[in-house]
Structure 1
């Protein structure tokens, strides 16, 4: 259970829910094919400008988490997929056509028009670095 944040206009269709060691990023009005698998997603490049502001809102929790001395290493057991396979340890991103394909250490879901991912705060900086590099390529 987390704290759902008030979205800013810059976040467009994205919403953030803060948790202790992770956050959930949700996109409203999402197409089902945004979820490829438990660890892989496709984001339309038209969403590019909304991702940064959504992560800015989520990373406000990271500062509090770091200030608490990161009490324990993150438990990533929740990232195992239905077959017991762990999420990849690094981010793989590519831009085929007008979309960004992302595979990495997160859990990707889809339900009734809502695409969502759960991502540990500790993986957020690496995500953003890979995201901006891939989207600008």
Structure 2
């Protein structure tokens, strides 16, 4: 898909549906949209069925993996984990993995700091990604 000059930017769905070999998502925050109704329901103790809550993801990812696209996600998390990360952990199997994503968790202490020595190559190896898919950051001094 050619990018349009000075026109409307392609949507996420358009980009994802035109992906040819791999789609990579790196998450590094300990919390996202705490106002998300699904997070609020989970926090209130309601049962969450990811396939029911996010049916579009269960259509989009299998469509991509069915045509040979590797869909990968890694989450770098602090310890102890935040409440939001606990929520993500509980929905990951039913949302990300069941949809067809290859998924990895990485402790922040193994990803940052002078003793970690994690380079883009090291992150790629731990996340099972090609290193060109990782932004360069070493010792936590650069953000992807």
**TM-score when normalising by structure 1:** 0.29
User: Which structure is richer in relative contact order (CA contacts within 8 A, separation 6 or more)?
Assistant: 1
Structure (1 or 2) with the larger CA radius of gyration:
2
Larger helix proportion of the pair: 2
**TM-score when normalising by structure 2:** 0.28
